[in-house]
Structures are given as C-alpha cells and as structure tokens.
Amino acid sequence: MMTAKYSEDSIKTLEWQEHIRQRPGMYIGKLGNGESPDDGIYVLLKEVIDNSIDEYMMGFGKEIIVEVTDEIIRIRDFGRGIPLGKVMDVASKMNTGAKYDSKVFKKSVGLNGVGIKAVNALSSKFTVTAFREQQKKKVEFEKGILIKEYPLETTNEKNGTEIIFTPDITLFENYRFRKSYVEQMLKTYAYLNSGLKILYNGQTIYSKEGLIDLLNDKISTDILYPIIHLKDEDIEVAITHGIQYGEEYYSFVNGQYTVQGGTHLQAFKEAYVKVIRDYYKKDLNFNDIRSSIIAAVSIKIESPIFESQTKTKLGSKEMSPEGVNIRNYVLDFLAKHLDNYLHKNEATSNMLLRKIQESEKERKAISNIKQISKLRAKKVSLHNKKLRDCDIHFNSNEERRFESTLFITEGDSASGSITKSRDVNTQAVFSLRGKPLNTYGLTKKVIYENEEFNLLQAALDIEETMDNLRYNKIVIATDADVDGMHIRLLLITFFLNFFPELIKQEHIHILQTPLFRVRNKQKTMYCYNEQEKQTALEELGKNAEITRFKGLGEISPDEFKHFINENIRLETVKLNKDDTVNHLLDFYMGKNTPDRQNFIIENLKVEEEYA
C-alpha cells in the first residue's frame, strides 16, 4: 500500500491571511450567503462596528456612520482614531491591538484585535483610514495583501477611523445583505449604548431608554406589569412577565449579544430566583418563579473570555482578572435594586405573586400526568425508535451540542430517506406518526397527554428549561403539498404556544427541498421553484427530462444527501416586530372567522393573477 511521503517539504508555514482564508470558520464561523443572520458577511460587519462601539464605551465619539450595499461597506466612527504609526500593524499583524492594554480599552467587545484582520483577509478590497489631530493615514489591501500605503496627509476631518471593505465573492458566493438583519444588529447596538447615534444608510437609529426599548421591540405578547428597569455602572437589567409559556432572555456582555448565554445569564437566573424567594419569604419553585419571564441583562466586564471567536457564550467567572465573582456581583445588585423596586411598587409585586401562584397551580395539576408520560415516553422511544439520534449526543459531547440538527419528519418514506442520507455525527431524525394535534387554546397538560408531543419534548429535552436544548437547529421536513404545509403549521403552532423562545431565538427552520429534477445525458440540475426550472431548461435544452417531486420519499437517499449537507436550504421561522403570538394563533388556528376567510379569498385571487 502506498503512503504519502512525510518529509521536511510537508511542513508549511502559512502567512496570516492565508491561514484565515483557508480556515475562515475559526474566525467568523460559517461563510454563508447572507440568508441567515449568523452568516459570515454579518460577522465581518460586526467585527468592524465592535471597534467603533468600544470607542463609544470608552467615552469617545457619539456617532457612527454605517453604509451597507452588496458591493461595498463603509463604517466611520468619531473616536480617537488608530494611532497613525500603527494603522498598518492593526490591520495586518496578528496579536496586535490596544485591547491588550486594559487602561486604554477597559471593557471592550473585541478579542485583542483579531477581528479586523479577519475582515481584511476575507475581503477582496479593504481600506482603513485613521484621522487623528489634523492628520490622516490610509492603507489599502486586497485579500489581506498590502496594495498601497499612503503617506501622511493633513486633513480637516474629525478624529476617528474609517473602514471600507467588500466581502470576497470567491468565499461568500452570491452573497446579499438583508436589510432586516443589519437593521436589527444596529438597533441592538443602540439599545445597549443609549445616547449613541447610528446613521444607517441615511436612517437614524437611536435609543434613549436602553433595555426598555429593546424589550419593547422584542415583546410579542401582552405583559402583566410595566417593565422593571434597573441600572448601575456595569450592569443593566429589564424584567417583565408575559402570558406566554416558557422563558425569554436576551443577554449581553460589553455590548455583545451572547446568543448562547453563559455565566452572566446563569448568574441572573439564579439571583432572580433567590431575590424573589427572599422578598416573598416563600420557598417557591424556580420554574414557577421564572415561568413567562421576559428579561434582558447586560453587563460590562474587563477582559471577557468567550467560548468562541464569534463571542456567543461567555465563559468568564470574574468581573475582571482581579475582580469579584460575576455570580456574587449580579446577586448583590438584584438583592438591592430589585428588592427595593418591589417594595416601592406594590401593584407590580402583587401581580408578580399572582402569576407565580398560577404557574404553581398548573404545574401541580399536571404533575401526575408528567410522571406517567415520562415512563411512557421512555418505553415508546425505546421500542418504536422514533428518535434516531446523532453521535454528538451518543458520545455526550456537550461542546459540540450547538452543531447538531434535528429533522422532524412525517411518514416512513421521508424518515427513511433522511435517515439514510444524514450526517450521523451531527444530524438526528424524529419521526411523526400522522398529523399533529392542533394545540391552539390548549394548556400545557396536552403535551403530556399527547404521545407525539410528549416524545418530541423529551427528544429536545426542554421540559424543565431551555438550557438543556439538545439541538441548535430544529428543522421541519415535510412534503411541499397541502398536507405537508398543514403539518408545518401545526408544529409551528405547538412551538409558538408552548415554547415561543425556540422561534424567537431562531432555532426553528423549514427544510427547502427541490421541486424539480432537470437532466440530460451530461448534467443533472435540481430546481426549487419554477424560475430555477426555466433557467435549467435554458441551459440543458428544452428536451431535457423533467421530474416533479411530489414528496420527500420520492427523492432517493443518494440524491437527498446533497440537499441536507453544507448546501442545505433552510427558511427560518421568525416573528416580525408587529406580530403577537396570541393574534397569530387566533387568526390562523382559531375558529374559522370571516377575517381568515377573506384573507384566503384575497390570496387566491393573487395566485390566479399569476397563474
């Protein structure tokens, strides 16, 4: 058997930009094309803006200009400006940046200046200009390689930094910035930095009330009492309760949205429970206390330690290298400020207690059913193999939990195709039996009485808390016909009704599969809509063979694997700002109202016009 030759010539040293371009996932996560809010092009934008936010947090510059098109991105801040003699180094030398000096950047978002180098290396064009004390320094790069360094020039521009870049289309194929994603990112920056003005493509984004504005933007249910807003130098929280099931949190560190939470969010949850128990002098159940909570928590700490370059989960346990424990800090803050608030606002404290007691009453009412259903779930799942898990969970690999995906399918043929085609390391399959129950208007008791939902909840491991969620992506995979659409709607209703945070945190997706296969003797093309089919026919010829897929089971496993690998097309289930869960469920899943009948008739007319 021949083996590859391993010699001195096998050892290579990559330049910094080569390493970033060959291993972009280490620096920005996935590449993507802009369809998902965590795609790489948004990470590039964020890495640059983070530096401008750091300037604002240190007290320099109250305005940031952000101009975004698909061809070019420009960010201009009015902070101190990069020291002119170090502009080249900051943009192109790894392990170079002022964030190693805690006196200069005390509570920064960025991780020691790595981000801007990644933006440089992954951009076809990258220009950085520093303005400082009536002088400016400009440097141009292409794919991280220096193209031109301009000499120092005099200028009348205000101090600050301007970065202009274009993502490299050879890496971010067919990318497109979605305005809604960019706008939401910039709004979040404004909420966390009240008083900061962001000018985005001519639109002014500004927040006066901080986390109150953030919760008002996120809330999609009626709330029981006015938002509680508590703030100190290094911490800010906003708390209220809705009428929905579950818990809803938004956590931030130094202005960075920590989607996966971390030590600060866990500290908040524990501290909140303790303060509420102490205030009411009752040994209340933590689930009852936190049921239906909607909260945002933002802290500022020195030298934060995140669990990845994309900074989605905080790992730090201390407020600073020599500081107090985060858990104790959050507990002391809430023990003082939340306790004071509840004593001063009796109407709110009374409403909160009633909400806790209602949750307790419902929990106890279904406790016996829960015990029976747990035993049944264990027995049924073992015998029927409804869940075909992935190796990440078989091996209890907690660190890779957020790489995992669960496909929810209906029918043996569809389940069989996905099971045979999936990546067994990261992709699991849950098989439904028939159409799910319409859960609109039902209480949580139905989850434990209904075998399908009980088993699904057990598979996701979300009965007690979202912290145990076993799969980062939950993908509804049904046929693209009326029955398949109905199943999708019933599953979305289930999640909206009982686990709305799964949708708000964008864990729920719809699998897009091709409707047509167009092929000739030389080439096969898969098409997801009529337009793609016409394009394929133009390329392959009008005599090409066309196959219309009526269901997932009609796609062979060998073909199916191409649609659920790195090229998977997912449509994320989202709530718009003006959507309220109660209204949506009532309109689509409630009684057959005249409003819904008129909606269907009007949309049928639209379809006929385009037929």
Q: What is the DSSP letter of 314?
A: B
Is residue 143 left, alpha or beta, with left meaning phi > 0 and alpha meaning psi from -120 to 50?
A: left
Among the listed residues 143, 172, 110, the one whose alpha carbon sits nearest the alpha carbon of residue 19: 143
pLDDT of residue 254: 84
- Element housing 66 (H / E): strand 63-68
Tokens of 247: 């818990």
Considering only the C-alpha atoms of the chain, give the largest distance between any 2 of them, rounded to a whole number of Å.
Answer: 81
Enumerate the β-bridge partners of residue 256. 253
Q: How far apart are CA 28 and CA 204, in angstroms?
A: 28
* Residue 71 exposure: Cα atoms within 13 Å on the Cβ side: 0
Confidence class for position 258, pLDDT limits 50, 70, 90: confident
Which of the residue ranges 257-271, 376-390, 475-489, 525-539 would you say has the lowest mean pLDDT? 376-390
Query: Where does 547-593 have alpha helices with state H?
Result: 557-560, 581-589
* Correct CATH for 17-206 of 3.30.565.10, 1.10.3720.10, 3.90.550.10, 1.20.1050.10: 3.30.565.10
Of the pLDDT bands very low, low, confident and very high (cuts 50, 70, 90), residue 29 is confident
Cα dist from 135 to 42, 141, 297, 486, whole Å:
31, 21, 40, 63
Q: Residue 448 and residue 431: Cα distance in Å, rounded?
A: 18
DSSP 547: E
Q: Specify the CATH number for 211-365; select among 3.40.50.300, 2.10.109.10, 3.30.230.10, 1.10.10.10.
A: 3.30.230.10
Phi, psi of 475 (to 5 degrees): -110, 120
Mean pLDDT confidence for 33-57: 88
d(CA 258, CA 363): 30
For residue 246, the tally of other CB atoms under 10 A from its CB is 22
- The residue ranking higher by pLDDT, 193 or 373, is 193
Q: Is a pLDDT exceeding 90 seen at residue 283?
A: yes
Closest by CA position to 316, among listed 403, 366, 258, 275: 258
Say which DSSP state 93 is in: -
Q: pLDDT tens digits, residue range 148-157?
A: 999 999 999 9
Average pLDDT over residues 376-380: 53
Instruction: Report which of residues 383 and 414 the model is more confident about.
Output: 414
In Å, how far from its chain's centre is CA 112? Answer: 24
Band of residue 102 on the pLDDT scale cut at 50, 70, 90: very low
* Tokens 């864990």, located at residue: 507
Mean pLDDT score of the chain, rounded to an integer?
84
Coil, strand or helix at 125: strand
Angle separating helix axes 581-589 and 482-498, nearest 10 degrees: 150
- Is residue 94 predicted with pLDDT exceeding 80? no
Q: Do domains 211-365 and 384-513+551-579 have the same CATH topology?
A: no
H or E stretch covering 278 = helix 263-280
Instruction: Give the model's pLDDT for residue 67.
Output: 96
Beta bridge partners of 527: 516
Instruction: Report the alpha-carbon angle 37-38-43, nearest 5.
Output: 105
**Token representation of residue 199:** 């000018």
Give me the residue spans of the domains in the chain: 17-206, 211-365, 384-513+551-579, 516-548, 580-611
Banded model confidence at residue 494, pLDDT cuts 50, 70, 90 = very high
192 close to 148: Cβ distance less than 8 angstroms:
no
**597 or 73: which leads in pLDDT:** 73
- Buried/exposed 366-405: b ≥16 CB within 10 Å, e otherwise: beebbeebeeebeebbeeeebbbbbebbeeeeeeebbbbb
For CA atoms 372, 378, 384, 386, the dihedral sign is: positive
Q: How far apart are CA 527 and CA 522, in angstroms?
A: 17
Architecture of domain 384-513+551-579: 3-Layer(aba) Sandwich (3.40)
pLDDT at residue 11 above 60?
Answer: no
What is the CA 566 to chain-centroid distance, rounded? 18
Contacts of 527 (CB under 8 A, 6+ apart): 514, 515, 516, 517, 518, 533, 535, 536
